[in-house]
Amino acid sequence: MAASVLRLGIPGRRWALAWIDGGSRHRSGTQPGPTSNRARGQSSVAQLSLRTAQKPRKGEHKWAAVVGLEIHAQICSNSKLFSGAQVCFAAPPNSLVSFFDASLPGTLPVLNRRCVEAAVMTGLALNCHINRKSLFDRKHYFYADLPAGYQITQQRLPIATNGHLTYNIYIRKKQSQVTTKTVRIKQIQLEQDSGKSLHDDLRSQTLIDLNRAGVGLLEVVLEPDLCCGEEAAVAVRELQLILQALGTSQANMAEGQLRVDANISVHHPGEPLGVRTEVKNLNSLRFLAKAIDYEIQRQITELEDGGEVLNETRSFDYKLGCTVPMRDKEGKQDYRFMPEPNLPPLVLYDATSLPSDADSQQVINIDQLRDMLPELPSATRERLVQQYGMLPEHSFTLLNEVGLLEFFQNVIKETRAEPKKVTNWVLNTFLYYLKQQNLAVSESPVTPGALAELLDLLDSKAISSAAAKQVFEELWKGQGKTAAQIMSEQQLELMQDREALEQLCQATIDGHPQTVMDVKKRNPKAINKLIGLVRKASLSRADPALIKEILEKKLSLF
């Protein structure tokens, strides 16, 4: 009893719901808790309303928050950064560990070409300067899941520097207003992931899984150009889409393929920056936004109460909805960086610097990789708007949901229906059903082909829009019937018999004299009510335009 009260009473359980509700009209409010959507990990943050982090009190300076991010993206590669061990999520513990990954004495790192290519492609996509020569360093600290006692990273001379990421804040309240913002990218560096520690507090033991140890990471360091949780979340979402489009990272936050640390400080504009804190290991976009906003508010409150902000590392407690100091990182660590002596400098070439006798297996040509870059999300959105005449906001939604764009394009390919109609159906009906059941696009019971067939029926006026929704509902049950089968079984075809429809109209007019009176009084809503009544009587099988035509004709006869 007490326990259940306690559980209900945990603060912070509700914020996620509110956040989701405010964020997307497609989401129902029935999701059980903040973790329910983590499996998807891809919420539509681009549609969130813009919220200002704080309001200045009267007579006081306004506070400004400064937020910078360090993002770790696991590189999508067959093997690890410096060893031949396979990379695979959720494999049995310690089943993907080479001698090097376990740091057996005498083993040496061998750089994985695929990881370098992924870093170069990511750097190019983020408008970075690609360094023709970059270096590897050792960063030392003792931790049980870091078997070498150091991590190989690129501290001094990373592979890519000075880029920028453009992201869009979509302001829902002011219809369709998109603000484009830019965050500078300081650098992208290649580094090793650590293993995982599983702490068994009960038996006071720690279990180590080295499957992840040595997996290639791209650390993307953003300059502190962000000012609130939402901006951070939207920027990270855009980065996530770019990485996925490039195929350089699966960037699934729930599986830890994308992890974000945030550096946060507040100050009065025009004055020096405040002391910053670092919030570590934020593994969902919602927690990221929430943690940043909480931390900004906490720092402001702290300073306004005459306190001070400590330069410390904090973690986000998603249950409590607040940040707390991390206990094991009290003192400032000195990582004692040193050049990695077992790896020569990483040299990259371009079309002009490539030696003529170079072995293509041994060199990486930046220009060649540039030519191979796929279409990036911003270009895809632009293309969608131009090609299909959709609103920019729709293009955002299509990209934000994993697999939705592909679904949309497959429907387009197979149907005669207008793109606008397809957009409408995919974004409203289809997405609504997915969200209702919390499914990913790939889990949908309705295939693009099935939807395309339904839209064809609609397009040929064989079925009304309302009846089509009924067919869709049947399709969703996934019983293997086609749209046409459902339509004929349930007699949902559009009434082609004008005489029968005229009879239905007449019966409706006769049965609703008051509404007819309203029509005659030029009440504009009344005619719609009548149309609705006729449609209902036709079991949604009548074409509303035709009903309207008949009704108007009949009523004008009076």
Partner 1 sequence: MLGRTLLEVSAALKQGQVTPTELCKKCLSLITKTKYLNAYITVSEEVALKQAEESERRYKQGQSLGDLDGIPVAVKDNFSTAGIETTCASNMLKGYIPPYNATVVQKLLDQGALLMGKTNLDEFAMGSGSTDGVFGPVKNPWSYSKQHREGRRHDEHDDSHWLIAGGSSGGSAAAVAAFTCFAALGSDTGGSTRNPAAHCGLVGFKPSYGLVSRHGLIPLVNSMDVPGIFTRCVDDTAIVLGILAGHDPKDSTTVQDPIKLSRIPSEVDVSRLCIGIPKEYLVPELSSEIRSLWSQASDLFKSEGAKVIEVSLPHTCYSIVCYHVLCTSEVASNMARFDGLQYGHRSGIDVSTEAMYAATRQEGFNDVVRGRILSGNFFLLKENYENYFVKAQKVRRLILRDFVNVFDSGVDVLLTPTTLTEAVPYLEFIKEDNRTRSAQDDIFTQAVNMAGLPAVSVPVALSNQGLPIGLQFIGRAFCDQQLLTVAKWFEKQVQFPVIQLQDLMDDGSLVLENGKLTSVSLTQ
Residues binding partner 1 (CB under 8 A): 99, 102-111, 138, 140, 142, 144, 147-150, 206, 208, 334, 336-338, 341-344, 362
The residue among 213 and 241 lying less far from partner 1, judged by its C-beta, is 213
Minimum distance, C-beta of residue 72 to partner 1, in the bound complex (Å): 22
What does 369-403 look like in DSSP terms, one character per residue? Answer: HHHT----HHHHHHHHHHHH---HHHHHHHHHSTT
Which parts of 313-430 fold into alpha helices (H)?
A: 366-371, 377-388, 392-400, 404-414, 419-424
Minimum distance, C-beta of residue 13 to partner 1, in the bound complex (Å): 34
Minimum distance, C-beta of residue 200 to partner 1, in the bound complex (Å): 13
Looking at residue 262, its amino acid is A
The residue among 109 and 158 lying less far from partner 1, judged by its C-beta, is 109
* 138 DSSP β-pair partners: 152, 338
Looking at residue 69, its amino acid is L
CA-to-CA distance for 95 and 475, rounded, in angstroms?
43
Minimum distance, C-beta of residue 147 to partner 1, in the bound complex (Å): 5
| 288 touches 262 (CB < 8 A) | yes
The residue among 102 and 303 lying less far from partner 1, judged by its C-beta, is 102
The residue among 142 and 558 lying less far from partner 1, judged by its C-beta, is 142
Question: Encoding tokens for residue 365?
Answer: 């040509």
The residue among 108 and 500 lying less far from partner 1, judged by its C-beta, is 108
| 177 touches 133 (CB < 8 A) | no
Buried b (16+ CB within 10 A) or exposed e, 331-363: eeeeeeeeebeebeebebbeeeebeeeeeeeee
Q: How far lies 348's CA from each of 110, 112, 130, 131, 370, in Å?
A: 16, 14, 9, 8, 13
429 Cα distance to chain centroid: 20
Minimum distance, C-beta of residue 82 to partner 1, in the bound complex (Å): 9
CA-to-CA distance for 160 and 185, rounded, in angstroms?
9
Minimum distance, C-beta of residue 108 to partner 1, in the bound complex (Å): 5
Minimum distance, C-beta of residue 414 to partner 1, in the bound complex (Å): 49
The residue among 145 and 552 lying less far from partner 1, judged by its C-beta, is 145
Minimum distance, C-beta of residue 349 to partner 1, in the bound complex (Å): 15
Q: What are phi and psi of 67, to 5 degrees?
A: -125, 130
Minimum distance, C-beta of residue 143 to partner 1, in the bound complex (Å): 8
384 Cα distance to chain centroid: 18
481: burial class by Cβ within 10 Å (0-12, 13-18, 19+)? middle
Say if strands 277-282 and 313-317 run parallel, antiparallel, or are unpaired.
parallel
Closest CA to 171 of 232, 222, 230, 112: 230
Minimum distance, C-beta of residue 44 to partner 1, in the bound complex (Å): 42
* 67 DSSP β-pair partners: 226, 264
Q: What are phi and psi of 124, to 5 degrees?
A: -65, -45
Minimum distance, C-beta of residue 393 to partner 1, in the bound complex (Å): 48
* 167 DSSP β-pair partners: 181
Minimum distance, C-beta of residue 158 to partner 1, in the bound complex (Å): 18
CA-to-CA distance for 534 and 500, rounded, in angstroms?
11
The residue among 50 and 110 lying less far from partner 1, judged by its C-beta, is 110
CA-to-CA distance for 475 and 508, rounded, in angstroms?
32
The residue among 107 and 506 lying less far from partner 1, judged by its C-beta, is 107
